[in-house]
Amino acid sequence: MDQPSNASNPTDEAGPGPAVHFDNVGMRYGRGPEVLSDISFDLPRGSFQFLTGPSGAGKTSLLRLIYLAERPSRGLVSLFGEDTSVMERGALPAFRRRIGVIFQDFRLLQHLSVFDNVALPLRVAGQNVRQYGEDIVELLNWVGLGHRIDALPPTLSGGEQQRAAIARAVVSRPEILIADEPTGNVDPDMARRLLRLFVELNRLGTTVLIASHDIALIRSVNAPVLELAEGRLNRRARSA
């Protein structure tokens, strides 16, 4: 059984305060009802946790707060000790570069090859292809896309697009990795292979939060589980 680095004690911290802190957070869209209510939890630095719950429970909204796509209607969300509600707009890009995100809808750039999509975070960070070319080829081989390195996203299957999106999210070894149903379009063998990639990234120090409905996947790793139901975080359990 895979064991992430801090799964045995989710309160341990490898740095000054948690990577993510929610304190009594509520969130609503416009004038609608709250989709998240009274959410409080921490993601300690270097921890590995799952987020689960039925469709409509608020999982994607919670993730959007972490990767700064939304701000809370009330309460405190802090990243690396910084209150996101008072963060200046100019500071957001630097914070976002510290967070890798795997989206359900992939969000690959359709005019770029698989290689160039995966390389994008490194190019944005100012690295030259000579610095990262071999690493990207190795990563694409790991996720089973070595033979599709020059392919454009419209020619890829859903599972191939998902694997390319995962490679793009992890290539820069982000401080936080947020994954929204990252194995939903791949077969069980590839899902386990990708999970090993997330576990290894966690062992290197990345804080990992995976939203998933896949009970078998969740049970394959001895990690805490955050459970959402009707916008509320009901309890913290262990996956195995």
30-77, pLDDT tens digit by residue? 989 999 999 999 999 999 999 999 888 899 999 999 999 999 999 999
Of 11-25, 35-49, 50-64, 80-94, the range with the lowest mean pLDDT is: 11-25
**Residue 116 confidence (pLDDT) above 90:** yes
* DSSP H helical ranges for the chain: 59-66, 92-96, 114-124, 129-142, 158-170, 188-203, 215-219
150-181, pLDDT tens digit by residue? 999 999 999 999 999 999 999 999 999 999 99
Compute and round to an integer the Cα radius of gyration of the chain: 17
**Residue 239 confidence (pLDDT) above 70:** no
